[in-house]
A and B are shown apart, each in its own frame.
Chain A
Amino acid sequence: MAKFILKISAWILVILLTGTTIAWLAIKKIPEQVLLDPDAYFMLKHQYKMAGSQGPYRNIIIGDSRGNAAIAPKLLGEKWLNLSISGGDFYEGYLTVKHFLEKNTIDTLVMLYGISYIETGSAWFDRYTVPMQFASNEEMNDFEKVENSRKMEYHGSNRIGAVPRFIKQAQRRLLYHHIPLLYMNAASEGIFSYFKNKEEVKAKKEKMESRLTETRGHICFGDATSCAAVSITDPDRKFNQNLFQIIYLDSIMQTGRRNHTVIYFGVAPLNQGTYVGYGNSLYDRTSRDYLKKLPITYPGLHVLVDSAGLPNNLFGDPWHLNESGTLVYTQLLTERLKH
């Protein structure tokens, strides 16, 4: 019996060491294959780098992927830069503004998010922001303090007890610090992908970086010439903003005020296919009420609400404008900025 237990324990130890070493090496050497898919990895890496770099830009756009797609900074002027973060909500927007201000100033800030992200935040936090280590260790500590002071889990709607909250935070930290045991499966898939499409990924990296550099952060996602698919399927409910979105929107506003930044706040446009069922719904009405109250809460804030339903042929997929849509929306924005 003792011999059996010793042998099994030894085997388990050896296998664990081997597996974690392989996973650790995979994370270190091919993070684009392990942490995320290569396209998302290179795009986020670029945006994070630009957010923390010093440059000639004074006017920035923050938002989620709809922000990336909707606005072409080159059409707005030389000093414009699109720092939208795919899958990001106000928390990532706040980090973007904070990091950018460490080495730059912001004269104008345009915020563009999907209405659902404004309400409840993004579901990509644990899949993108955490493994990509967008927040520093200190910033991670800060928002855990926010979670603990509110007795809530980030992106959650209800209070949760200290123990489940602690477990969740611990799991998140393990993910953040790339503890190999949590990346086993991703590592094995990543290693296979690496051997299968190494050259292709290298080309993707070069293409993504040059494209984002050339367009200053603008990128479209869907490639359809028209999309009528519905992107909001439950409009018969009230808009009810999540506490964390309130907190981090407030943080962005306070930061902007301290730095004398002119801020524009917009909701990403919807296609007609969605707007047909969405326009004037309970969700639409209550979210518009929320937007109308924003300038009262934040004097000086400019709210853009007049581009709600755009034609289907301006959309490459249910959520994102295509290049034609970008031209139209950026033009609309230009007109608003002039006034």
Chain B
Amino acid sequence: MLFNSLSFLLFLPVVFILYWFIFRRSLILQNTFLLGASYFFYGWWSWKFLLLLVLSTLLDYLYGFGVASGNRRKAKLFLYLSILNNLGILAVFKYYDFFAVQFGALLGLFGIHASPILLNIILPVGISFYTFHGMSYVFDIYRGLRKPVVNFIDYALFVSFFPLLVAGPIERANHLLPQVQQKREFRYSQAVEGCRLILWGMFKKVVLADGLGAFVDQIYSNYGGYTAISLVFGAIGFSFQIYGDFSGYSDIAVGTGKLFGFELLSNFKFPYFSRDIAEFWRRWHISLSSWFRDYLYIPLGGSKKGKTKAVRNVFIIFLVSGFWHGASWNFIVWGFIHACGFLPLLLLNRNRANLTGIVAENRMLPSFRELWQMAATFCFVTFAWIFFRAHTLKIAYQYIARIVTDTIRDPMQFIHIAPRSGISSFIYIIPLVLADWALRRDERVLAVPSKKWRLLLYFVLATLVLLHFGRKQSFIYFQF
């Protein structure tokens, strides 16, 4: 079920009340109930793929014991089994058809006509996330960072906790498992913070992202009929749509976690205020980029084995990251573009230039240099998003070509797109940017000092969410 659906709005309070009133007495009760609720949550979408989730969970649970073996060879065997198992699931459900089609095309280059057998299986929701949960658990045991979890319920809850089950954040065993293995007590301040996050996340998703989505869909589905300026607004619209959609989802997930006594990983830290691409990737989908850093980039040698290998590793990471998002060339090209943006920073040793601190850290406004840096980074990221959003490379090229070659005319065309196509949602970008700017140092959502203004803000946001509720737009990252 989607977070922005009536079924979730009914599910959440029921689970919350049962959890804190009936199942609070012991840790085992808490975890068993939450696991049952999480499986119900996932099974609501498909009980068949629920079996896949349970099977994947069980296998990694068992592999964990094998990897913890004192025998290094045996441990390595189980590690490879886990990788094979998880990547195998992804290969079958997510990537098989892509490779089959590419193989058929490759044969075609040699004059061999082949009709590949396609599976046409629907992609199980959350598969890219829970497989990574499982792999990170096994990797951490192999590295000696933790011991295997004995209680299956605890482990299964770590993998399947419903707020992060379908679109992250991708949790780490050392971060979430200790919380799972400790009885949670209700804390008023934590629950209030959770509600604030949920409200802010709903605003970003329901009001901003879904509204922009209608506008962006219209532009992309008929890009040949729009002027360059409209297409530019379409690209900018998507930049904010995906940010509102994904960070909104993450906020709702983290906020929901807080309602049940959990502190989940933060997934976004104001990425559009980044001063370069390296900083962007430390602020966007943090759980995924850090996962690739820790489990792929560093094992490959990172940047510690010479510049050539560092460049190689950077390209591997970004291409794999692009491919993780979808079995399609446009996602791979998107990753490649980001790799190209990161490369100069790496070669000039500037990829850690903005490692700590935030833009305009001790000032209210950015300097001109910082403004220029943020604008350039935003433009680069928005350009790359065109490949991400377009269904094919051809559409992406044509979209960009039209921006470049179309003569400047009818600058107000995009405003005249039908009102119900979400043009009004552009207005909400302003409060979003202002709020993010104000929060960039503190990161406590909606923590307005004045009680009067705080209540007014909650009132306005909640009313806007209610008035925009019901638009049929899924979460973008559900498709990954």
Contact between A189 and B424, CB atoms less than 8 A apart: yes
Give A106 to B418 CA distance when docked, in angstroms: 40
Interface residues of B in 391-427 (CB under 8 A from A): 418-420, 424
Q: Which of A14, A19, A185, A193 has the most CB of B within 10 A?
A: A185
Interface string of A1-32 (1 = CB under 8 A from B): 10111001001001110110011000000000
- A192 in the interface (beta carbon within 8 A): yes
Which residues of B are found within 8 Å of A129, using beta-carbon distances?
none
Contact between B459 and A8, CB atoms less than 8 A apart: no
Which residues of B are found within 8 Å of A3, using beta-carbon distances?
188
- A104 in the interface (beta carbon within 8 A): no
Interface residues of B in 438-480 (CB under 8 A from A): 458-459, 462-464, 466-471
Contact between B467 and A188, CB atoms less than 8 A apart: yes
Give A5 to B16 CA distance when docked, in angstroms: 10
Give A22 to B464 CA distance when docked, in angstroms: 11
Name the residue of chain B whose CB is nearest to the CB of A8: B195
Name the residue of chain A whose CB is nearest to the CB of B415: A196
Interface string of B179-197 (1 = CB under 8 A from A): 0000000101001100100
Which residues of A are found within 8 Å of B466, using beta-carbon distances?
15-16, 18-19, 184
Name the residue of chain A whose CB is nearest to the CB of B20: A1
Count class of interface residues, chain A: 20 to 34
Contact between A184 and B469, CB atoms less than 8 A apart: yes
Name the residue of chain A whose CB is nearest to the CB of B471: A185
Contact between B195 and A185, CB atoms less than 8 A apart: no
Give A202 to B104 CA distance when docked, in angstroms: 59
| Dominant SS among interface residues on chain A | helix
Name the residue of chain B whose CB is nearest to the CB of A14: B459
Contact of B468 among A4, A37, A184, A197 (CB under 8 A): A184
Contact between B470 and A4, CB atoms less than 8 A apart: no
Which residues of A are found within 8 Å of B418, using beta-carbon distances?
37
Contact between B191 and A4, CB atoms less than 8 A apart: yes
Chain B residues bordering chain A, tally (CB within 8 A): 22
Given A8-B195, A184-B470, check contact A15 B463 (CB 8 Å).
yes
- A187 in the interface (beta carbon within 8 A): yes
Interface string of B382-396 (1 = CB under 8 A from A): 000000000000000
Contact of B419 among A4, A14, A18, A196 (CB under 8 A): A196
Given A1-B186, A15-B463, A193-B419, check contact A188 B468 (CB 8 Å).
yes
Interface residues of A in 167-190 (CB under 8 A from B): 184-185, 187-189
Contact of B192 among A1, A4, A185 (CB under 8 A): A4
Which residues of B are found within 8 Å of A16, using beta-carbon distances?
466
Given A184-B470, A185-B468, A185-B470, check contact A11 B419 (CB 8 Å).
no
Contact of A184 among B17, B424, B467 (CB under 8 A): B467
Contact between B459 and A15, CB atoms less than 8 A apart: yes
Give A5 to B17 CA distance when docked, in angstroms: 9
Which residues of B are found within 8 Å of A184, using beta-carbon distances?
466-470
Contact of A19 among B191, B192, B463, B471 (CB under 8 A): B463
Which residues of B are found within 8 Å of A5, using beta-carbon distances?
17
Given A18-B463, A189-B420, check contact A11 B458 (CB 8 Å).
yes
Interface string of A187-217 (1 = CB under 8 A from B): 1110011001100000000000000000000
Interface residues of A in 203-255 (CB under 8 A from B): none
Taking the closest CB of chain B, its distance from the CB of A180, in whole angstroms, is 10
Taking the closest CB of chain A, its distance from the CB of B183, in whole angstroms, is 15
Give A15 to B199 CA distance when docked, in angstroms: 12
Give A15 to B463 CA distance when docked, in angstroms: 6
Which residues of A are found within 8 Å of B191, using beta-carbon distances?
4
Taking the closest CB of chain A, its distance from the CB of B218, in whole angstroms, is 14
Q: Which of B186, B464, B466, B471 has the most CB of A within 10 A?
A: B466
Give A26 to B191 CA distance when docked, in angstroms: 35
Contact of A15 among B192, B419, B420, B462 (CB under 8 A): B462
Given A15-B462, A19-B463, check contact A189 B419 (CB 8 Å).
yes
Taking the closest CB of chain A, its distance from the CB of B187, in whole angstroms, is 10
Which residues of B are found within 8 Å of A19, using beta-carbon distances?
463, 466-467
Contact of A22 among B186, B459, B467, B470 (CB under 8 A): B467
Q: Which of A23, A188, A193 has the most CB of B within 10 A?
A: A188
Give A3 to B186 CA distance when docked, in angstroms: 12
Which residues of A are found within 8 Å of B424, using beta-carbon distances?
189, 192, 196
Which residues of B are found within 8 Å of A1, using beta-carbon distances?
20, 186, 188
Taking the closest CB of chain B, its distance from the CB of A112, in whole angstroms, is 29
Which residues of B are found within 8 Å of A11, using beta-carbon distances?
458, 462
Taking the closest CB of chain A, its distance from the CB of B456, in whole angstroms, is 12
Given A3-B188, A8-B195, A185-B471, check contact A192 B463 (CB 8 Å).
no
Interface string of B137-155 (1 = CB under 8 A from A): 0000000000000000000
Interface residues of A in 243-285 (CB under 8 A from B): none
Taking the closest CB of chain A, its distance from the CB of B190, in whole angstroms, is 10
5 interchain residue pairs of minimum CB distance: A19-B466, A188-B467, A193-B419, A192-B424, A15-B462
Can you list 30 A-B pairs, Cβ within 8 angstroms, ordered by A?
A1-B186, A3-B188, A4-B186, A4-B188, A4-B191, A4-B192, A11-B458, A11-B462, A15-B463, A16-B466, A18-B463, A18-B466, A19-B463, A19-B466, A19-B467, A22-B463, A22-B467, A37-B418, A37-B420, A184-B468, A185-B468, A185-B470, A187-B467, A188-B467, A188-B468, A189-B420, A192-B419, A193-B420, A196-B419, A196-B424
Given contact pairs A37-B420, A185-B470, A188-B468, enumerate 8 new A-B contacts (beta carbons under 8 Å).
A1-B20, A4-B192, A14-B459, A15-B466, A184-B466, A184-B469, A193-B419, A196-B419
